[in-house]
Every structure is written in C-alpha cells, then in structure tokens.
Amino acid sequence: MGFELQSDSSSPLAKLAGLKDVFGGGGGGSKGAGDKIKLAVAVAALLAAGGLFVWQIFGSTIDLEDATNRIVVINAKTGEVDRRFRLPMNEAPPYATSAGERVLYPAELCWYDPEGNVMAEPTAVLLNEYAGKPGETLCPHCNRRVVKRNPGPSFAEIEAARQRGK
C-alpha cells in the first residue's frame, strides 16, 4: 500500500512535486532559481528584522509615567472637563486650576446613553459629594446613578460601540 504520484501533470500532487524543483530540491547541486529565491527571502527577512529593531530602539516611545499620571477632572465652578489633567504629586482633590483656584475634582465616567446602550466616549460626571450637593448623583446624559469608582462596561463593549460609531 504505497503512495504514488499520478502521472497526470495537472493533478495537485504533481504540481506540488514540481515545486521541489523550483526551490532547489531537485538534486544536482547546481545553484538554480530556487537558491536565488531563498537568498532573496533571507535578505528581505534580515532587512525587515533590522528595520524593526532600529524602530524599536530609536522610534517614538510612550512615556508611561506621563500616561499613568493623567485623569479626567471637572471644574466644579464652570463644569469644564479636562480629559488629560496631570495629577500633581502629593496633592488630594480639589486640585488647582492654572489660575490657582482649587475647584478641580476627579470625574466619574458614565458610559451609557438614555436607552442603556454603551457609548464610544463616556460622559464625565461630577459627584454631588464634591459639588456640595445632597443626595445621590445622576448622570446628566442618561439619568443613571453614578458613584465613586463608577463601574463601566467591558473593553469589548466599548470597542463594539466605537465600531458602531456611537
């Protein structure tokens, strides 16, 4: 019960056997087109690897300290939202504005629209506790209750909302 190639040159197995000759597997030891292809592929792979190495060493880098020291804040006086506020060292809220007023509080994020669907970008909400108001805080956009460390949707749900363009 051996395996034999069909003599028909149009069969898929015969075509695969023919590739052996193209890539230098046909024997004979001569430097044919197959060896040239192999050399070209090897050189291209080395150039790509070298380019990737140089890009990672000298390319743009992310400043992790800067990225992790930024939060979303709300100005309790004006309602203005700053989505990239740099946290000052050894300070607690309220944080100071550029004018020196201590009216900036961390925003809680609400990711839902009035119908309960996840949005691509959240609504920044100032907690009543920070604003000096009694009672629970409701999102001005969807009217849902918002709390400290407000739970949000999964990353997959947020990505799906971004794909929908919502």
pLDDT above 90 for 113: yes
pLDDT tens digits along 128-143 = 999 999 999 999 999 9
Indicate whether 77 belongs to any domain: yes
Indicate whether 1 belongs to any domain: no
Task: Tally Cβ neighbours within 10 Å of residue 124.
Answer: 21
pLDDT above 90 for 79: yes
pLDDT tens digits along 27-42 = 555 567 778 888 889 9
Confidence of residue 52 (pLDDT cuts 50, 70, 90): confident
- Can you give the pTM of this predicted structure? 0.59
Instruction: Measure CA of the first residue to CA of the last residue in the chain; give whole Å.
Output: 63
Asked whether residue 51 falls in the same domain as residue 33, the answer is yes
The count of domains in the chain is 2
Measured CA to CA, the distance from residue 161 to residue 166 in angstroms comes to: 6
Range of the domain at 75: 68-164
Per the model's pLDDT, the better-predicted residue between 53 and 93 turns out to be: 93
Indicate whether 40 belongs to any domain: yes
Asked whether residue 141 falls in the same domain as residue 81, the answer is yes
Measured CA to CA, the distance from residue 129 to residue 147 in angstroms comes to: 10
CA dihedral 154, 156, 157, 161 (to 10 degrees): 140
